[in-house]
């Protein structure tokens, strides 16, 4: 029997995986989210889209490539029509990867075809013109992303960012061709491929542009980008007759104590912590303090407060404190240390009865999901930018919001925890 799977996606962090799955579900595709390649099921059932959450964004390149290869191997029996690589809308990566190198893994799996790279996310103010990425009205290299502690983005031309990450030629799809529609997009992309440039940066400014790009690329074996272009794929599949439009089922409410764990040092997360602190207790942890000491202190602080309402525990810090931690430990080790602390806290808090958990930061979310032993998630349909709510499969009911550090309304912490107690 032929598999029903139309799309299999690899997401380079957990918040992106939840966002992608939510958008696919909102488009009517029956979608499953699993954690890591080993969680890809042998029986896909009637799912039309499968999202595999990885922690590959800042992993060593060899590790990221190995995870992608393992995922592809597990996916092979399901024969998905398309493989999709989901990365951040600000193209977060380093010269060594992990966008171009992982895209090569996917590119090798099917017949030769162009591969579009489309991080544009108009709702979040991320757009691409002349292959340059803009964050609202700033070029990427002039935006706050230039100060990112893990992936400082100091170049705005996506061709120059992608080229060092791949052995394949990098081309461009200009805005004029995008405006002409799917047929013109396909012709231009095929010409770029014939000229030795199969990896193609796609200009896109509006949702209409993304719709055209999705329609143009839906029959090619590989597509890469943010969740925003993937949101238009189900519509293209309905047009092709590959699926019927479906209304996504809602998730049931979950009640119980609630907590926020904030590990991102993005400006937006720190603003959200400040807003949450106006009504609820917040504990700031020192990322340089011994982990056992911080863990014991945080749990003792949380215990008498959980029954009174939601709490927040954070390792988020301003750029000066982040720089000090990185100077003492190194950039990646400093981040991993904070993630490990918050992951251990999550595990302990769930044991103490927490049933609604909001985690801020993609890498932190990955660490928390790993510590909780979660392998399969039910994702609510997409609601708003930066807010992805899901339920963890298992004996203990647990509602999670895994959010990007850079996104979400300033007041989203309290509001999202309240929404978890309603049907989603």
pLDDT digits (tens, 9 = 90+) for 16-63: 999 999 999 999 999 999 999 999 999 988 899 999 999 999 999 999
Spatial CB neighbours of 68, under 8 Å, sequence gap ≥ 6: 10, 54, 56, 102, 105, 106
CATH number 3.40.50.720 is the correct assignment for the domain at 7-240 = no
pTM: 0.87
77: which residues sit within 8 A by CB, 6+ positions away?
A: 3, 42
pLDDT at 322: 67
Alpha-carbon distance 170 to 163, whole Å?
A: 6
d(CA 373, CA 408): 26
The residue among 385, 315, 375 whose CA lies nearest residue 345 is: 315
What are 214's two structure tokens? 């999705």
Tokens 């996606």 belong to which residue? 9
The two tokens of residue 281 are: 């207790």
- Residue 291's contacts (CB-CB under 8 Å, 6 or more residues apart) are 337, 340, 341, 344
Three-state SS string over 333-354 comes to HHHHHHHHHHHHHHHHHHHCCC
Structural contact between residues 399 and 391, judged by C-beta atoms closer than 8 angstroms: yes
Q: Which ranges of 43-195 would DSSP assign to H, the alpha helix?
A: 61-75, 100-107, 158-162, 175-179, 182-194
Q: Is 186 helix (H, G, I), strand (E, B) or coil?
A: helix
CA 415, CA 318: separation in Å to the nearest integer?
24
pLDDT score for 329: 67
State residue 388's pLDDT score.
85
Between CA 57 and CA 142 the distance in angstroms is 22
Give the residues of the chain that fall short of pLDDT 70. Answer: 1-2, 318-323, 325-326, 329, 331-332
d(CA 265, CA 364): 11
- Beta strand 311-314 with 399-403: parallel, antiparallel or unpaired? unpaired
What dotted CATH number matches 258-419? 3.40.980.20
Domain residue ranges of the chain, discontinuous segments joined by +? 7-240, 258-419
- Cβ-based neighbours of 422, under 8 Å, separated by 6 or more: 253
Beta carbons within 10 angstroms of residue 183's beta carbon: 12
Under 8 Å between Cβ of 316 and 269 = yes
């Amino acid at each position: 029997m032929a598999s029903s799977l139309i799309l299999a996606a690899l997401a380079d962090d957990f918040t992106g995986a939840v966002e992608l799955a939510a958008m696919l579900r909102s488009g009517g595709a029956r979608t499953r989210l699993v954690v890591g390649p080993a969680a890809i099921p042998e029986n896909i059932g009637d799912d039309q889209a499968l999202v595999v959450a990885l922690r590959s964004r800042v992993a060593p390149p060899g590790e990221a490539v190995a995870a992608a290869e393992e995922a592809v191997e597990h996916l092979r029996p399901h024969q998905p029509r398309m493989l999709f690589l989901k990365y951040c809308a600000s193209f977060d990566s380093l010269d060594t990867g992990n966008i171009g190198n992982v895209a090569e893994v996917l590119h090798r799996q099917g017949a030769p075809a162009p591969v579009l790279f489309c991080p544009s996310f108009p709702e979040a103010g991320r757009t691409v013109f002349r292959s340059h990425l803009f964050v609202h009205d700033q070029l990427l290299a002039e935006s706050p992303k230039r100060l990112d502690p893990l992936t400082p983005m100091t170049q705005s031309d996506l061709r120059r960012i992608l080229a060092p990450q791949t052995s394949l030629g990098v081309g461009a799809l200009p805005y004029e061709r995008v405006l002409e529609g799917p047929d013109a997009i396909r012709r231009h992309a095929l010409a770029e491929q014939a000229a030795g440039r199969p990896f193609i940066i796609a200009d896109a400014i509006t949702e209409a542009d993304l719709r055209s790009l999705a329609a143009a690329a839906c029959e090619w074996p590989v597509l890469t980008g943010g969740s925003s272009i993937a949101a238009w794929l189900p519509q293209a599949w309905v047009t092709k007759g590959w699926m019927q439009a479906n209304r996504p089922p809602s998730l049931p409410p979950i009640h119980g104590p609630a907590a926020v764990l904030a590990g991102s040092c993005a400006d937006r997360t720190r603003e959200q912590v400040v807003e949450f602190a106006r009504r609820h207790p917040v504990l700031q942890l020192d990322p340089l303090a011994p982990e056992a000491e911080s863990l014991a202190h945080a749990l003792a602080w949380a215990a008498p407060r959980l029954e009174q309402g939601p709490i927040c525990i954070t390792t988020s810090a301003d750029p000066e404190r982040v720089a000090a931690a990185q100077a003492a430990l190194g950039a990646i080790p400093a981040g991993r240390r904070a993630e490990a602390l918050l992951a251990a806290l999550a595990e302990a808090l769930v044991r103490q009865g927490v049933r609604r958990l909001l985690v801020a930061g993609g890498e932190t979310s990955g660490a928390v999901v790993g510590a909780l032993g979660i392998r399969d998630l039910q994702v609510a349909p997409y609601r708003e930018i930066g807010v992805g709510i899901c339920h963890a499969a298992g004996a203990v009911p647990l509602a999670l919001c895994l959010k990007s550090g850079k996104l979400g309304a300033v007041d989203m912490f309290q509001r999202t925890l309240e929404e978890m107690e309603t049907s989603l």
